[in-house]
Amino acid sequence: MNKFTAPGKMKQVNATILAPENAGLRIILNLCSENGKFESTLDKLLYSRWARVKSDFKEWHATQHNFKLGLLNTNSAVASDTWICEALVKDKNDKLDEKSLEVAVKKIKDLCKYEKASLHVSNILTNDFPSLVDLLKNHLVDEGINVYFYEEPKK
């Protein structure tokens, strides 16, 4: 942690990730798989609001341009102040690769710092991948980036 940088905030929000709070640029994190399937619970939730997210991911998978574990796809600007960031961290068998998750989190940190953005994460991801919370705290919050965790409402 840099002693000259004020630490960011971690905040738990009881609302859906589809309406992220805070002003400024908001980056919503989604974890994707090398197999090209867009079928996880969070994928379907994001697709229900923004159909473009699925087509952007499918295009990324089809072209295979920068489609390696640990890399990000930030082509999904769903609003002027909201981006969907897809991190490729699961292998072809849909199994999480811890090393590529850490690489992707470092890249997200650089992106958030450069764009002066906050990161928004659904509890769907943190429930499936508990190690994600510690990685985000160590790499983003300690570097001055605000991270919001959303508790999706039960239907």
What's phi and psi for 118, nearest 5 deg? -105, 155
pLDDT tens digits, 46-62 = 898 888 898 898 998 89
Does residue 87 belong to any structural domain of this protein?
yes
Alpha helices in 4-97 (DSSP H): 41-49, 52-63
The Cα-based distances of 5 to 30, 36, 85 in angstroms read: 27, 38, 24
Interval 111-120: pLDDT, tens: 999 999 999 9
Q: What percent of the chain has pLDDT over 90?
A: 30
Which residue, among 14, 17, 12, 56, has the nearest Cα to 38 in the 3D structure? 56
pLDDT surpassing 90 at residue 107: yes
Pairing label, strands 147-150, 10-13: parallel
Residue 3 falls inside a structural domain: no
Burial of residue 150 (number of CB atoms within 10 Å: 0-12, 13-18, 19+)? buried
Q: At what angle do helices 52-63 and 41-49 cross, to 10 degrees?
A: 120
Let me know if residue 33 belongs to a domain.
yes
Rounded CA-CA distance 77/15 in Å is 21
| Residue 63: CATH number of its domain | 3.40.220.10
| pLDDT of residue 154 exceeding 80 | no
Q: What single-letter DSSP state applies at residue 96?
A: B
pTM above 0.85, yes or no: yes
Residue 36, domain extent: 10-150
Q: Answer whether residue 134 is part of any domain.
A: yes
